[in-house]
Amino acid sequence: MSALRIARLRKRFGAQEVLKGIDLEIGSGEFLVLVGPSGCGKSTLLNVIAGLEKAGEGTVEIGGRVVNDVAPKDRDIAMVFQSYALYPTMTVRQNITFGMECRRVPRPQQEEALARVARLLQIEALLNRKPSQLSGGQRQRVAMGRALVRDPMLFLFDEPLSNLDAKLRVEMRMEIKQLHRRIGATMVYVTHDQIEAMTMATRIAVMHQGEVQQFADPETIYNRPATLFVARFMGAPP
Ligand code: ADP
Ligand code: MG
C-alpha cells in the first residue's frame, strides 16, 4: 500500500491552471521532496494534499484512503510551515500540547507525547520558555514538536527552513533528515533549494509550471535528467 498517491490532479485559480495533471506515488517511510522555482505550484500541491485547497480534478490518497472529501483535521497529517506560527503568549510546553488539548487527549498521554518529542528534538530545557525567548532554530524545533506529537501518517513541510540563516539551515536540514531516519515517518517536503532536495530526499519531484517534469531518486535526477529544465534547474552538466 502506498503512503501517498496522487493521480491526475488538476487545480486552477480562476483562469490560471496551477496544477496540470500531477501523478505521484510514494511508499511508507519515504522522504519526498517537491522542488522547483517560485510559483511552479509546490505550495498549492502541498495544500491540496493537506486539504487546505480543494482538488479540481483527480484524486489524493493517503494510506490507501481517498481523502478528497475528508477535512484537513481528519487526514492524519501534520504540517510545518516556514513561518513557525507559534502562539506568542504560550510557553513551549503549551504550544506543543495545545493541539492535543483541543482533541481532548487525556493528560497522561499528553505528558508522554510531550516528553517523547522534547527528548527527540532536544528541547527539554526550553519547555517553560515563551517563543520570544527562543532562537530561530529552537522555534523551528518547537514547530516540529507540535507536528510530531500528532504522530501522523504523513508529515508535510512547506519551506520550513527558508527563514533561517545559511549555517542554521544546513544544521536543521541534517536534523530533519536524522529525525526522518529515527522515526521512519513518511514526509513530503517543499523547497526551491536544489541542494536541500538532493541531500534530503529519497525521491524528488521536479516541478515546472504546474507539471512534474521528473519523479525519481536523487541519483537519477542528477545523472539522467529527463528534460533540459531538470538538467539546468538541478545544476547537472548539460
Ligand atoms: P510555489 O509554492 O511553487 O511558489 P504556489 O503554489 O504558491 O507556488 O503558486 C502557484 C501559482 O498559483 C502562482 O502563480 C500563484 O500566484 C498562484 N496562486 C497560489 N495561490 C493562489 C490563490 N489562493 N489564488 C490565486 N492564485 C494563487
Ligand atoms: Mg510556496
Per-residue pLDDT tens digits of the chain, which is 238 residues long: 899 999 999 999 999 999 999 999 999 999 999 999 999 999 999 999 999 999 999 999 999 999 999 999 899 999 988 766 899 999 999 999 998 998 899 999 999 999 999 998 889 999 999 999 999 889 988 998 999 998 899 999 999 888 888 888 898 899 899 889 988 899 999 999 999 999 999 999 999 999 999 999 999 999 999 999 999 999 855 4
> Is the CB of 210 within 6 Å of ligand 1?
no
Residue 93 grid coordinates: 510546553
Distance between CA atoms of residues 91 and 106, nearest Å: 20
Dihedral sign, Cα of residue 125, residue 85, residue 165, residue 154? positive
Distance 128 CA to ligand 2 centre (A): 32
pTM for the full model? 0.92
Distance between CA atoms of residues 14 and 62, nearest Å: 27
Residue 153 grid coordinates: 501518517
> Is the CB of 191 within 6 Å of ligand 1?
no
Residue 235, pLDDT score: 84
What ipTM, to 2 d.p.? 0.98
Instruction: DSSP letter for 191, please.
Output: E
Residue 162, pLDDT score: 85
Residue 84, pLDDT score: 66
| Sequence-distant (≥ 6) Cβ neighbours of residue 151 within 8 angstroms | 113
b/e map 163-179, b = 16+ CB within 10 Å = ebeeeebeebbebbbeb
Distance 71 CA to ligand 2 centre (A): 21
Q: Do residues 236 and 225 make contact, with C-beta atoms less than 8 angstroms apart?
A: yes
Residue 130, pLDDT score: 97
> Is the CB of 82 within 6 Å of ligand 1?
no
SS3 175: helix
Residue 238, pLDDT score: 46
Residue 236, pLDDT score: 55
**Measuring from atom 24 of ligand 1, which residue has the nearest CA?**
13
**Which ligand has the nearest atom to the CA of 19?**
1
> Is the CB of 72 within 6 Å of ligand 1?
no
CB atoms within 5 A of ion ligand 2 belong to: 43
SS3 110: helix
Q: Do residues 206 and 233 make contact, with C-beta atoms less than 8 angstroms apart?
A: yes
